[in-house]
Amino acid sequence: MVYDVVIVGAGFSAIASVCNLIELLPASFSVAVVGDDPGFGRGTAYRTELYLHRLNVPAGRMSLFADRPDAFVDWLAEHKRPVGAGDFASRQDYGLYVRDSLAGLLRRKPRCRVDFIKAKATGCLGRYNAALGFLFDNGNEIAGRNIVLCLGVGSAKLPIDLSGLPALGASHVVDNPWRLSWLGRVASEDSVCILGSGLTMIDQVLALHAHGFKGHIDVISRRGLAPLSHARAPKPPAELDVATLPTRLSELMGTLRRESRCADDWRSIMDSLRPQTQTLWQRLPLSERSRFLRHALPWWNIHRHRVAPDVFERFEEITRSGQIALHAGYLLNVEAGDRLTLCYRARGRRDVLSIQTDWIVNCTGMERAGMAHSPLLRAMQHQGLIEADPLGLGIIVDPRSRIPKTSENGVSIYAVGALTAGQFWEITAVPDLRVQARKVAEAIAKRRWAKSGQDDG
């Protein structure tokens, strides 16, 4: 079957794209959403099994639609959740809200055809009849006249190869902590070593606690920096215009540091950058973007991707109790005996230190969107349909999120989400994804109107 639109991916970006297409396309259009994820629309972020896992963006900024900012807050009120616009709702609830929003739109447009296909797209069949075909892991295939790639980022691999560990040791390495079933295998007095100290680590520490875990937790990452907190009473964003900021990284960081020192709260500087980050990124030459990724990324992440204040306080409490030790260093190797031994070089030191533990948990977070995790992207690259971003930030798209030159044969390929980080950088959170999904849906709708020349809605 040839669909008007094929969306590959089943996370938030895919569902935001389909919701906008339902609103904008004529009534008789057809869309296929192809995803290998059991929870359509939830992705890793919103299919958590733990209610205590919170959003890290206030509810008032999490509506699916930028032009209806209260939609999520209204949903929360309708469902009797005591969460206001400035509060941090449960990620589980957010997944339900996304699902309900899609169902509501589908009810209102009964003539459109939206097929949800559970499969992994593994290959591309090239262009035929002004459409692009995709091959699935189950042997089936479909084609679309417009394609939207919403593949997210794969989860990060372990920082070192542990394939040589004996079976018993390997069974105590948790490669994908998002499958929370691993928690059931941990005894309450065991010890756990978490690799990575970002938001995923905090989620897992809270999950361990919710399971009554009493043992010791070591956390190791290259810089040993953990996310900072949102303010309980946020100050308004400062008035900083990115057009006036330097484009050399060292000068830019110097300016931001000075501004932060002078501000009542450094967060107001970060918050002023928030709606302008894409512009700031686009102003930086490639060499400075590359410098940013090498030198400033860990600092950017902890200041920019902050946690809800009570999540932060809970984490601080556990840290103060001595249950968690945070180490900065480079993991060198892991040996398995009765327990697992991790050897690492402490940051800024020459000597090698070691940690004994029962469990290793990979919380190095999401991989930067690259080609490595996706057979589909590698196949499309091989066929000359897409090109890798030079800094490894996904694929090359133009400022309209379209893959250049793809409409030459009548097929347009767009991407939504982290795959477009090379062009936009700040494109992983809902406030940005919903705007991008809308623009892509508008571009597809415009093409469709131009072709049909009539309203069949």
Alpha-helix runs per DSSP H in 321-425: 375-382, 421-424
List Cα–Cα distances, 2 to 114, 323, 364, 383, 426, in angstroms. 13, 56, 39, 20, 33
**Tokens read off for 217:** 């937790």
Closest approach, Cβ 359 to ligand FAD, in A, equals 20
Cα 205 to Cα 307: distance, rounded to the nearest angstrom:
13
CB closer to ligand FAD out of 36 and 335: 36
Closest approach, Cβ 207 to ligand FAD, in A, equals 11
CB closer to ligand FAD out of 229 and 260: 229
Residues 6 or more apart whose Cβ sits within 8 Å of residue 227: 198, 199, 202, 301, 302, 305, 306, 307, 312
CB closer to ligand FAD out of 44 and 357: 44
Task: Please report, as a single letter, which amino acid is at residue 206.
Answer: L
Asked whether the beta carbons of 444 and 23 are under 8 A apart, the reply is no
Residue ranges in contact with ligand FAD by CB under 6 A: 8-14, 34-37, 43-45, 55-57, 120-121, 150-152, 203, 366, 374, 376, 417-418, 428-430
The closest of 34, 29, 33, 35 to 4, measured between CA atoms, is 29
What values do phi and psi take at 151, rounded to 5? -85, -5
CB closer to ligand FAD out of 342 and 363: 363
Closest approach, Cβ 317 to ligand FAD, in A, equals 21
CB closer to ligand FAD out of 11 and 329: 11
DSSP bridge pairs for 136: 121
CB closer to ligand FAD out of 334 and 376: 376
Closest approach, Cβ 154 to ligand FAD, in A, equals 8
Closest approach, Cβ 332 to ligand FAD, in A, equals 28
List Cα–Cα distances, 402 to 66, 225, 393, 442, in angstroms. 21, 36, 15, 12
Alpha-helix runs per DSSP H in 171-320: 199-210, 249-262, 267-273, 277-283, 286-291, 297-304, 309-320
Closest approach, Cβ 446 to ligand FAD, in A, equals 23
CB closer to ligand FAD out of 150 and 413: 150
Other C-beta atoms lying within 10 Å of the C-beta of residue 215: 16
Q: Which residue has the tokens 């571009």?
A: 443
CB closer to ligand FAD out of 169 and 422: 422
Closest approach, Cβ 135 to ligand FAD, in A, equals 10
Closest approach, Cβ 419 to ligand FAD, in A, equals 8
CB closer to ligand FAD out of 43 and 144: 43
Closest approach, Cβ 139 to ligand FAD, in A, equals 14
What values do phi and psi take at 388, rounded to 5? -75, 145
Cα 457 to Cα 455: distance, rounded to the nearest angstrom:
5
